[in-house]
Amino acid sequence: MSDEVRSLSRRSMLKLMGGVAAASALAACVPAVAPAPAGEAAAPAQAPITIRFWNVWGAAREELMNQIIARFEEENPGIKVQNLVQPFERREENLFTALASGDPPEVLMATRAEILRFANDGLIAPIDEYVAANGLDLTRFYDSEIGNFYWKDRLYSMPMPTGGGVTSLTLVNLDMLHAAGREDSVPATWTELETLAKDFTEIDDKGIVKIGASVVGATVGAMATDFFAWLYCNNGRIYNDDLTQVAFAEEQGVETLEWMVRFTNEINGGVQNVLDFFAGPGEATEAQPWYNDRQLINFPNVSIFFHMQTYRPDMQWDMGLRPYNSDNPAAKSQGLSGETFAWGYVVPNVVTGERRNAAFKWVQKITYDEDGGGWFVKQQGRPSPLKAVNEDPSYYETNPHWDKVLKSLESDVSVQILPVHAQVRDVVGQAVQAALFGDASPAEALAQATQQAQSIVDGYWSQSG
């Protein structure tokens, strides 16, 4: 988002906040209406409340969500839900515009980092009182999942799907291994990953033909995510414990970025080769190299299982945890929960009264209820933030490695971040890009990023007191 657009949105939102400063505290669930006394005419039926639901659950997942909506509306005849699937392009900018409009959708799907920013600016309603009034038991969630949606001791959303399982998975195409006469193998360390990637990467004068593995993603925009994922497998960290200092440029960070650059240049022929190889097909298309025996090792999130059922159900594959740096005695495999795409669902503060109650009922359905959000992720073969849902043996029918998925969730760590984390991520992503393209050494790139990111952090704390 440009600085001009960001500035305009913030001014609009501050103006918006002035009109809702006196909004009432979160109401409990809608009380049942008592029947009219005998002899009195019943009150005229009220028109249903319409909940506009902004989300990015497109493709095959749109129909799954429509089925949940149908069940919800049957259970709540006074509420209608409009399933408004939004494009991923300019998604964040569209969220800000909606919140600044004065008439935002009643429920918005947003990332954890965005939710913290909205909460910090007072743009969304906390849900603590609603949770208490409805007797919801938050211990049904994994701690690392529900913990992602607190800000200053207030809860602003419940999770669906998991914020974990985003960076912790390693999948291997066994069909490619078997075709080469190789035994089954899943790399556990950086060294093992390098060996397999070298053996299965093919490059000609036009670029990469087949790729063993890439330690950077398919787009420039994903480079901060890639770096943070590998950083935590080298015992590194993004911030210090009290979130007052950035820490990604410590020794472990420089070592991590140096390894990523070396791997990309020596094995894949440079970062442009990688970007060109993955250019074109989107997340959920059968044209992806992974579904066409052109990619041996994949580092996906848990949504991959649904797409594999759709596009390559006959693939023979295995999985493990993300490889770690075995040269660092303190390093281990671990994924990140909530650093970027931990999805939540929020209600804008300008939504009040019965509409707010109805909106929170819908949030509960798609997060807390097993026949809502739990059913939604189970149909995709991906884990739920609800522990009980993941105990369903049907998961093993579509994913024989389900125990490894749960192990990956157990290895995840919940990363504490600030409302300005998106700005820090942008700075880090630019540094990683500069190092990969050879515009600066890893140490130089991270040192410059540290100065810029620390200025962002300092500015936040100075404004927040």
What integer is the mean pLDDT of 343-360?
Answer: 97
For residue 45, name the pLDDT band (cuts at 50, 70, 90). low
Strands 79-85 and 49-55: parallel
CATH architecture under which domain 169-333+418-464 falls: 3-Layer(aba) Sandwich (3.40)
Residue 16 has pLDDT above 80, yes or no: no
Burial class (CB in 10 A: 0-12, 13-18, 19+), 94: middle
pLDDT surpasses 60 at 299? yes
Q: Which of 48-52, 144-148, 252-256 has the lowest mean pLDDT?
A: 144-148
Residues 6+ apart with CB under 8 A from 410: none
Whether the Cβ atoms of residue 250 and residue 273 lie closer than 8 Å to each other:
no
**pLDDT score recorded for residue 221:** 75
Express as a percent the part of the chain with pLDDT over 70. 89
Position with higher pLDDT, 80 vs 380: 80
Average pLDDT for the chain: 88
Q: Above 50 in pLDDT, residue 14? A: no
Mean pLDDT of 409-429: 90
Q: What average pLDDT does this structure show over 25-34?
A: 32
Query: What mean pLDDT do residues 255-268 have?
Result: 98
pLDDT at 315: 95
Structure confidence at residue 44 (pLDDT): 52
Q: Across residues 321-337, what is the average pLDDT?
A: 96
Helix, coil or strand: residue 204: strand
**Reported confidence tier of residue 42, pLDDT bands at 50, 70, 90:** very low
Q: What is the pLDDT of residues 445-459, one digit of tens each?
A: 999 999 999 999 999
Within 10 Å of residue 455's Cβ, how many Cβ atoms?
A: 13
Please give the pLDDT value at position 409: 86
Residues 417 and 339: beta-carbon distance below 8 Å: yes
Q: pLDDT at position 204, please?
A: 96
Cα 93 to Cα 18, 234, 340, distances in angstroms: 22, 34, 16
Quickly count helices (H) and strands (E) in the chain. 18, 13
Q: Are the C-beta atoms of 129 and 28 separated by less than 8 Å? A: yes
Lowest mean pLDDT among 5-19, 356-370, 397-411: 5-19
User: What are the sequence ranges of the domains in the chain?
Assistant: 47-163+339-405, 169-333+418-464
Average pLDDT of span 386-405: 91
pLDDT greater than 60 at residue 4? no
Res 7: pLDDT: 32
Query: pTM of this prediction?
Result: 0.78
Q: By the 8 A CB rule, do 213 and 297 touch? A: yes
Judge if 47-163+339-405 and 169-333+418-464 fold alike in CATH terms: yes
Q: 47-163+339-405: which CATH architecture?
A: 3-Layer(aba) Sandwich (3.40)
- Confidence check: pLDDT of 26 > 60: no
Q: How would you class 377 by CB atoms within 10 Å of its CB: exposed for 0-12, middle for 13-18, buried for 19 or more? A: buried
Q: Please, which pLDDT band fits residue 285 given cuts at 50, 70 and 90?
A: confident
**How far is 350 from 348, CA to CA, in rounded Å?**
5
Give the pLDDT score at 78.
96
At residue 367, the pLDDT reads 98
